[in-house]
A and B are shown apart, each in its own frame.
Chain A
Amino acid sequence: MRKGFIFFLFVLGAFTAMSQTKINYIEYDLPNGIHVILHEEHSTPIVAVSVLYHVGSKNENTDKTGFAHFFEHLLFEGSQNIGRGDYAKLVEKNGGALNANTSQDRTFYYEILPSNQLELGIWLESERMLHAKVENVGIETQRSVVKEEKRQRVDNQPYAGFITEMFKRAFPTHPYNWVPIGSMEHLDAAQEQDYVQFYQDFYVPTNATISIAGDIPIEQTKKWIMTYFGSIPKGQALNLYRDCMAMDDVKFTSKYGMSKEMFNPKDYGNTKDKNALALIKKYSETPINIRRTQKDNTKINGVITDTIFDNIQLSAIFMGYKIPDQKNADSYALEFMNEVLSGGNSSRINKELIERKRLANYAGSFNYGLEDGGLNIFLALANDGISLPEVQKELDEQIRLMKDQLISAEEYETVLNKFEKQVVESYSTVAGIAENLADNHVYFGNAARTNQMLEMYRKVTREDILRVANTYLTDNARVILYYLPKEK
C-alpha cells in the first residue's frame, strides 16, 4: 500500500465572516532575487503553488522560435531528483492537479494540491528551477508531443491560425512577429546546447516570481521557500552548478579551468577547495542579464489586406488595429469599448450582426494586450451565403458609431456591472488569485493592482471610450484578413 493519502478530519464549524472583495497578501525578495507573493486563506484545505518565469516567445531569437513554449513541455520531463515522466505522476498520486501555459511574454507553471502537500509543491517547483533535465532524450520526446499539439490545436482547428497571421503582419520588426507555438523546423534544427543555453538564460531566480495562494501557514511557508528556493545559487553561480551537474569533466574543465571534482555535487556550496570557493563567489557576484525587448510603437503601414484559404465551412473576416502596451492607461477604456461592442447578449455586435441582420454566425471584438504593444481585433464568421464585404461593412459601421457618438449611459452602467461581477469571480479560486498576483507584479510592478481593477474601470469615462476609439481604430492603418474555405 502506497503512503501519501490524505486523511481529512472533518470539523464542522459555524462561519459568519463578512464577504471580502480584497485579496490580502505579502510579498518579498529572496537574496538570490526570486520574488515571492503569498496569499493566505483557509476556506478550503488546498493550495496553489505557482512560479512565473518572465520569458515568452518575444524573448526568442528569430531563428529559434517556439523555445519558450517548448520549455513549458520540457520542464515536466524531470530533474536531478525526479525521474523521467514522474513529475506529473507525483502530483496526481498525491491528490493534486497541475498545468502550465506560455504567452508571448511569460511562462507560468502551477500545481493545485491538498494543503498538507504544500512542501511537496515547493520542492517540485524548486527542482524545476534548480536543475531540470534539459537533455536530448527529453527533447526528442517533447518535440513529437509539441508537434501533435500544433496539429491538434492549430493546424486542425478552423481559423486557429488567425492570430499568427495577424501578428505576422502587424508586427514586422518586433518579436511579436511570431506566436508562442513557433516553428517546428526551428525546434528540429536546434541542438541540445541551444536548449541548455535557453534554460541558463531565462530559468534563473531573478526572472522568477513564486506565487502561492490558499490554506497555508505563512511563517512555515516562508521557511520552506527559504529552504528550497533560497538555496538556489545566485547569479551565474547557478549555471556553474548546472554545468557541474550536467557536463562531463573534460568540457567542464575547458569551460571553467578547473575540474568539477573540486566541487561537492551533493552539497555544491560546501566545497573545501579554496579555488572552487573563489569561483563560486565570483560567479555568484556575476549577474545574469536577461535579454529584454523594446516596446513596439510603430504603426501599421496602411491597410494590409490578405486572403487565406483554410479548412473551414464558413468564411470569416478578421480586422486588427494596433493598440499600446497593456500598461498604458488607455487599456481600460479599450476593454470597456470591446464590452460595449461584444460582451453578452445585449451587446451591439451581437444584436446587429448576429440577431437582427443575421450576417454572422459568430462575431465579436477584443483587445489582445501585451507587454510591448497589442492589437484590437474584430472578427466575424459569416453565415452561409453571406459575403465577407457585407459583414465588413457592418463591422465598419459599428466602429464608426463608436467613433461618432458617446455610448449610452445605460451601456456604460451595464458594462460596469459586468466588470464588477468579473472582478468578484476572479477571486473565486486560489489558482486564479495566485496567477493574478504574479501577473500584476511582473507586468505592472504592482501586485496590488489585483485589488484595484474595479477602481480602474470606474475611472474610465464615456468620453475616454470615444477618444480611444478614434485614436486607435484607424481606417487607414489596419490589417484585414479574409478567411475562405479551401477548394474541395
Chain B
Amino acid sequence: MKKLIYLAFISLSLQVSAQLDRSVMPKPAAAATIQLKESEVFTTKNGIIVILSENHKLPKVSFDLTLGYTPGMEGAKAGLGELTGSLIMSGTKNRSKDVLDKEIDFIGASLTANSTNLYLSTLTKHMEKGLEVMSDLTSNANFPTSEFERVVKQYQSSLLSVKSEGEAMANNATVKVNFPNHPYGEVMTVNTLSAISLEDVKNYYAANFTPQGAYMVIVGDITRAQAEQMMEKHFGSWTGKVPSKPSFADPKKLDGNQVYFVNKPGSVQSVIHVSFPLAMRMGNPNNLKMSVLNDVFGGNGFGTRLMQNLREDKAYTYGCYSGLNFQNEGGWVSITGNFRNAVTDSAITEIVNELNRLLSEKVSDDELALTKATKTGSFARSLERPQTIARFAYNIQRYGLPTDYYKNYLTNLNAISSSDLLELAQSYLKENNYNIVVVGNEEVLEKLKKFDSDGKIIQLDEFGDVKQAMVPADISAKDLALKYTLAVTQTKDLKSAMKKIAKVKSMTQNSTLKSDKIPFPLSNTEIYTNKGIRAEKMEFGGNVAQKSYFDGKTGYTFNMQTGEQKMTDEELKMAAFEQALFPEANLANNTSAVKMELLGIESDGANKYYVLKITQNENAQSINYYNVKTFMKEKVTKIQTVAGETESATSQFDQFLDEGGFLFPRHLIVATAPITFDINIDKIEINGVVDLKGF
C-alpha cells in the first residue's frame, strides 16, 4: 500500500499544472469557518418556550412541538401514553379524520403526532393553514369511540404477534430488567391494554396536552415577528394545567452478570442483548466522551471492535452493534445481535470480553483518530440541515447543557485522549456486571448458565415479565389427554367418551373470520366425518381462497394463488392425527403413536395451564395449554419449519359452549407474524347433511 505524504508546508496547488505531482495528496486549506447561528428563544404568555432558528434559504418552515410533561409510571395501564398518541390524529371537534387528511394533503404539507410531539412541515406560504390544523389537534382532539375501538384492536393483534418476533421480545426484556419501577421499564401487555378505557385516553390528553412548559421549535423561512404572531394567533388561546414532572432515580447498580432467557421454540438463531444501566443522563458533561468510547466499541460501521471481532473475524453474525442511550430520566447501553444457535454462547463470551477489555486497555491511537475524524465530519455535514441548529438550541434548553456546548463541540472532541476514555470506562462500567438477555431456542439454555454469576437463569415471558417457573405436573401426559377428553365430551370415563365420540357421524362447523388487514369478513366451513374425512374451505364473495381435503389416506391443499397441491407424506401423517374430532382422545386411548410430553404447569398470572408438547415430526410440533381447573384447551401454539424458516401460529380459544353434548369453543383469535384473525364460530351441526360439494 502506498504511503501518502502530507505536505509539510503551505499548499503547492496554486502552481502550474505542468509541475503537478499527483502522488502528493492535497492538504486541507485554511481552517474553515462555521457560521453556527444563534437561535432565538422566547416564551409565550401561556408558557410555551419557543426556539426559533431563522433560515431563509428556502421558502419552507417547520413547527416541532414537544410537550412539557415527563411521562410517569403507568402501572396497570402501561401503554396509555402510546395509545393516546396513536389517536391524536383521528379527529377533532371541528374536523373528521378524512377532512384532516385532505386539508394537509392539499397544501402539500406533512403533519405527524404522537403522545409527546407534533410536527408540521410546510411551505411558508401555507403555514397558516397547517398551523390551523395543528393547533386544532393540540386543543380539540375528540377521540371518537369507533377510532378508539379500531386502534385498540390493532394493538391487540400486534401484541399477539410479539411472541413470534424475537427482537421485540428482547427489547421488552431489556427495558424491564434494566429499569424496574421506572417508566422506561414499562411495557404494554395484553392485560394492561385491556385495562385502558377511552375515558383514560381523554384524561391523559387533558392532563398532558397543555401549553405550559411545552417547547415549540420553529425552523426556516419565518421572521421573529411572524413567529410571535403565529404563536399568538394559533396557540394563544390554548390553555391547560401545569404539567406533571415526576423525577426518577437511576436504577440500582447491578451485582454480577444475570442471564435472562425468553423461550422462542423452534428458533434457529438467538437474539442477544447484553445491556446495563448507565448512571449518565442527557446533559452529563461526559456524554461526548462516552459516545466516542461507544463509537470505537460498537457504534455504526464496520470498523468497530464488535464488528471486527464477531463478524469479520469469527463470522458469528451479520451485524453486532452497541447502542448508547441518554435520556432525561436515565441512560443505558445495549449491545445487540442475532447469532445462530451453535455460537450463541461463544458470541456472549466475545461480547463480554470486549466489554471487559474497555476497562483494562486504552483504545489505540488509530481507533481514536478514526472515530474523531468520522464524528467531526458528520457534525459538519449535519449542519446543512437547518433543523440541526434548532436541535442544538433545544438540547441546551431542555437538558441544561452549557450555552456554548456546541460551539466548543469540536474543540472538546479533539481534546479527548485515550486515557480519558479508560478513566471514563472505569468510573461508569463494572467488569461482569451485565444483563444478558437471550431470546431463543431452549436447546441453548444449558450453555448459558456459565455466564450467570449465581448460575440461576431467570426466564421471562414475551413482555419481559418473570415467567413463573413451570411447576412439575401432578399427572401424566396420558392422564391429561384423558381428563381433557372427559371434559369436552362431558363423560365420566374413557369408554363412554369413546362411545359418545363414535356416535358423531359428521360435524359441520361454520365460522366468520375478521382481520384488520382484510376489508370484509371471510367465511370458513369445516367438515368432519367418522369415515376419515376432514375438509376445510375458506371463502369470500363466492370465491374459494383456500381449502384442504383429507379422506383418511390421501389429500390435497389448495389456495387461489398456487392452485392444488398433493399432501406430502409428512402432511398426510399430520392430517391423519388431526382428523380426529378430539385427537387427544386417541392419545388417551393409545390409538395414536404421535409423541407427547407434558412439560409442566405454567401460570400467566390469572390462570394455570398444563403445557403439553405434541411432536408430529421433526419439523412440526404444537404446544397446547390446558386450564388446570376446567381442562379446556385454551391456547395452542403450532410451530412448523419449512425450508429452514420457522413459522408459528398461536390460537386462543374461549366461550366454550355445549353442542350435542360436547364443549366447543365459539370464539378464537389466531395470530401469525403477518396477520391476526378474530374468528367467531357461528354454527356447529352434528350429524346433519354433509355437503362435500366443491372438494
Contact = CB atoms under 8 A, between A and B. Distances in A.
Given A44-B383, A227-B20, A428-B58, A421 B108 contact: yes
Interface centre among A90, A120, A227 (most CB of B within 10 A): A227
A271 B87 CA distance: 77
A95 B32 contact: no
Interface residues on B, range: 35 or more
A487 interface: yes
Given A19-B221, A20-B57, A231-B20, A11 B35 contact: yes
Contacts of A231: 17-18, 20
A421 B109 contact: yes
A358 B376 CA distance: 48
B225 interface: no
Contacts of A424: 58-60, 123
A45 B57 contact: no
Contact of A15 (B37, B517, B675): B37
Given A83-B1, A227-B20, A119 B29 contact: yes
Interface residues on A, range: 35 or more
A414 B106 contact: yes
Interface in B643-682: 643, 674-675
A83 B561 CA distance: 53
A12 B380 contact: no
Contacts of A130: 22
B565 A487 contact: yes
Given A3-B27, A19-B59, A20-B57, 16 more contacts: A4-B6, A8-B31, A41-B57, A42-B35, A80-B23, A81-B25, A86-B1, A226-B17, A227-B13, A228-B22, A346-B105, A358-B517, A385-B540, A419-B108, A424-B60, A488-B642
B691 interface: no
B517 A383 contact: yes
Given A12-B37, A384-B675, A385-B522, A6 B59 contact: no
Contacts of B643: 488
B519 interface: yes
B107 interface: yes
B56 A414 contact: no
B32 A346 contact: no
Contacts of A80: 22-23
A6 B519 contact: no
B16 to A, nearest CB: 8
Interface in B198-240: 221
Contacts of A94: 28, 373, 377
26 contacts: A1-B365, A2-B369, A6-B31, A11-B35, A12-B35, A12-B38, A15-B37, A21-B59, A43-B57, A44-B383, A81-B2, A81-B25, A83-B2, A92-B374, A95-B377, A97-B378, A114-B28, A116-B30, A123-B25, A383-B517, A384-B515, A388-B561, A422-B108, A424-B60, A484-B561, A488-B642
Interface string A136-148: 0000000000000
B108 to A, nearest CB: 4
A7 B517 contact: no
B35 A13 contact: yes
A120 B221 contact: no
B519 A357 contact: yes
Nearest to B516: A358
B101 A15 contact: no
A114 B376 CA distance: 9
Given A19-B56, A427-B58, A487 B562 contact: yes
B304 to A, nearest CB: 13
A385 B56 contact: no
B452 interface: no
A461 interface: no
B373 A93 contact: yes
A82 interface: yes
A361 interface: yes
A455 interface: no
B303 to A, nearest CB: 9
B584 interface: no
A430 interface: yes
Interface string B375-391: 01110110111000000
A228 B23 CA distance: 12
A46 interface: yes
Interface centre among A6, A94, A112, A224 (most CB of B within 10 A): A6
B60 A425 contact: yes
Contacts of B37: 12-13, 15
Interface of A: 1-13, 15-21, 41-46, 80-86, 90, 92-97, 112-120, 122-123, 126-127, 130, 215, 223-224, 226-228, 230-231, 267, 269-270, 313, 315, 344-346, 356-359, 361, 383-388, 410, 413-414, 417-422, 424-425, 427-430, 484-485, 487-488
B60 A92 contact: no
Contact of A21 (B2, B33, B58): B58
Nearest to B14: A223
A215 B675 CA distance: 51
B36 interface: yes
B13 A8 contact: no
Contacts of A9: 31-34
B75 interface: no
A398 to B, nearest CB: 17
B593 interface: no
A383 B56 CA distance: 45
A6 B20 contact: no
Given A118-B29, A484-B561, A6 B376 contact: yes
A335 to B, nearest CB: 15
Given A1-B365, A86-B1, A387-B560, A15 B35 contact: yes
Contacts of A115: 29, 32
B537 to A, nearest CB: 13
Given A12-B38, A15-B35, A228-B20, A346 B26 contact: no
B410 interface: yes
Contact of B31 (A83, A116, A357, A425): A116
B59 A92 contact: no
Contacts of B16: 227
A480 to B, nearest CB: 16
Interface string B336-378: 0000000000000000000000000000010001101110111
B307 to A, nearest CB: 15
B76 to A, nearest CB: 35
Given A345-B101, A410-B106, A418-B108, A114 B377 contact: yes
B186 interface: no
Contacts of A92: 370, 373-374, 377
Contacts of B383: 44-46
A5 B373 CA distance: 6
B404 to A, nearest CB: 9
A19 B22 contact: no
B4 interface: yes
Contacts of B376: 5-6, 95, 114
A84 B629 CA distance: 71
Nearest to A315: B561
A45 B33 contact: yes
Contacts of A430: 384
Contacts of A226: 17
Contacts of B520: 358
A375 to B, nearest CB: 25
A218 to B, nearest CB: 14
Contacts of A388: 561
A114 B379 CA distance: 10
Given A20-B57, A90-B4, A384 B32 contact: no
Given A81-B22, A231-B20, A357-B519, A421 B123 contact: yes
Contact of B25 (A45, A90, A357, A488): A90
Interface in B513-540: 515, 517-520, 522, 538, 540
Contacts of A114: 28, 32, 376-377, 380
A107 to B, nearest CB: 23
Contacts of A410: 106
